[in-house]
Structure 1
Amino acid sequence: MTGLFAVMGWKGDIMETFNYLEIKPSQRFDDLDPNQDGNKNTKFADLIIDGKSIYQILKKHDMVPSLGWGSAENQREMIDYFLLIDHHEYMYNRYPVLVCPMCGDEECGFISVQIEREGDIVIWENFKKENDSNPINLGPFYFEINNYERAIRKTFGTVGFE
């Protein structure tokens, strides 16, 4: 698909553009944050959509983005999920966008997003806090495939490997 595509923006207004995805190395706590005492200061690849951090928007859930940290094998698996190369073993077209900051294990709870591709457009919608299946009012987001693939691939090794 070429040209502009009418999509909904952050506040529900109609825009004639795609959302823009960027990746930025980030961490759970700032250096002076008193909450870091006794907690794991997980470093990760933050997902920045149109200049807004998904981590910061959903910070109240005390989870971190699933990309850019953990073992090399886990990072490759997450990238394959987000690029729709492989389906999650039990969530079909939903993927863990934020996970437990201590271990990344989905058993601890996570926030998922439905990801679909239509031609050259990747759509993120229907964010949900799993374990209690509560919907989260965020999105939908429409990404142009080249921007999307470049950003997702860039997450590999963002903060190293465990």
Structure 2
Amino acid sequence: MSAEYATFGLAPAIRAGGVLADGAYQAHRDFVDFIVDGRPLLFQLSDLDAVSPLASDVPPSIFTAQVRSLLLEADAPLAGGRYVVYGCPECADLACGAVTAVMERDGDDYVWRDFAWQTDEEADLRLNGYTGIGPFRFHGSEYRSALQSLLHEDADDASPRRRVLLIGARVAVLAKLAAALRAIGIGADIAHDAAGVPDEELRGYGAVVFGRAVGEQDRQAVRRAFDRAGVEVAYVDGFAPIIPLLVAQIENALDRSPAEQRRLTRLIAADGQAGIEITSTCRVELTAYRLDRLYRTHTYRFFDGILPAGQHRIGLDAKSVKGESFIVARTTGTVLVEPMGR
């Protein structure tokens, strides 16, 4: 079987959740992505909103079964020796569509070939095959080592901490934020401070969010509590009491994926323009949020389209950034937030 050798690895990734500009909710998903020749395989699939079968929020027994399946220690789940490579991030139902491939052993090597978009039990390569992707031949020792490492990781290290602590003065805003986070799959607790919270509870948080009214002395006290517990968390200074904006900030803080393997790597917001840098062709959504003089929120989704890799500058209508305003840039795997500079 002819196929050039490719390197195989794994890396943490997310499908970024959020409260979208139209009010819809998008679920947050943590998963392990496949790194082929140093880049996420998902990036070769352009505008695909999907996750690998190695999702962190499935029961341990199912996660182990998925790893064993990729090691070809069980029969293929689909006809023709096909395995799911990426599936629907909301329900994992094949009817929603999935990227599948034939996976097989060739001596000590593992081969992935005949990639296709599949919505039924049988794949139609003529109509739905991915041209230009694969076949990939992986050295058996490298392939097995990467996947087997998932079975031996310490549970506390392997599972992302998908819970955040919300600290602020405006209880109504915090309650709405907590409800939004829970709706997309992120746990949230509200508190005035971290005093008296047991260390084992503090270790369950991945981020702490401070409202704008929280003073520096109170912030330092919270940081000291986490330091005493030996917990490293991301600290988020909430830009404004705008729920979609705060959710986007938290998504960015919880992103554990390596910076060099993200699609959206830079966002600059200044002088009525948004500047972004992306590493591969993908869909990008840009949304402006602003507070008027009466602290009412105004939302403007000013770009939604597929862009090629590189740097891009996109202008905004002047009224969308009048006063205190913020820009959220979103791809399926990355969210960045910046205040509009002058």
TM-score bucket (shorter structure): 0.7 to 0.9
Cα pair 2:17 2:25 within 8 Å, conserved: no
What's the offset of the Cα at 1:34? 7.2
What's the offset of the Cα at 1:79? 1.3
1:31-69 per-position Cα deviation (integer Å, ceiling 9, x unaligned):
9x979x720121100100011111222252321111243
Query: In the aligned structure 2, how far is the partner of 1:73 from the partner of 1:92?
Result: 25
* Paired position in structure 2 for 1:144: 139
Query: 1:72-87 alignment to 2 at 5 Å?
Result: 72-87=60-75
Q: Does 1:130 align with 2:118?
A: yes
Q: From the CA coordinates, give the structure whose radius of gyration is larger.
A: 2
SS at match of 2:74: coil
Runs of at least 5 residues in structure 2 that lack an aligned partner in the other structure: 161-184, 186-342
Match of 1:57 among 33, 44, 55: 44
Cα pair 1:22 1:47 within 8 Å, conserved: yes
Cα pair 1:68 1:159 within 8 Å, conserved: no
Runs of at least 5 residues in structure 1 that lack an aligned partner in the other structure: 1-5, 9-17
What's the offset of the Cα at 1:85? 0.6
1:9-30 per-position Cα deviation (integer Å, ceiling 9, x unaligned):
xxxxxxxxx2111110010139
Cα pair 1:25 1:159 within 8 Å, conserved: no
* Paired position in structure 1 for 2:326: none
Cα pair 2:17 2:27 within 8 Å, conserved: no
TM-score under structure 1 length normalisation: 0.77
Query: 1:7-156 alignment to 2 at 5 Å?
Result: 7-8=3-4, 18-29=5-16, 38-69=25-56, 70-131=58-119, 133=124, 134-137=128-131, 138-156=133-151
Identity of aligned residues (%): 25
Larger helix proportion of the pair: 2
1:116-160 per-position Cα deviation (integer Å, ceiling 9, x unaligned):
101111110000100173101210100010100111223457446
SS at match of 2:25: coil
Distance change (3 Å), C-alpha of 1:128 and 1:155 = farther
Query: In the aligned structure 2, how far is the partner of 1:106 from the partner of 1:154?
Result: 28
1:92-116 per-position Cα deviation (integer Å, ceiling 9, x unaligned):
5110010111132334321111011
Relative contact order: is structure 1 or structure 2 higher (C-alpha 8 Å, sep ≥ 6)? Answer: 1
Cα pair 2:85 2:100 within 8 Å, conserved: yes
Distance change (3 Å), C-alpha of 1:81 and 1:112 = same
The number of equivalent residue pairs is 147
Cα pair 1:23 1:154 within 8 Å, conserved: no
User: 1:79 corresponds to which letter in structure 2?
Assistant: V
Cα pair 1:122 1:143 within 8 Å, conserved: yes
TM-score under structure 2 length normalisation: 0.38
**Greater Cα offset, 137-146 or 81-90:** 81-90
Cα pair 1:88 1:94 within 8 Å, conserved: yes
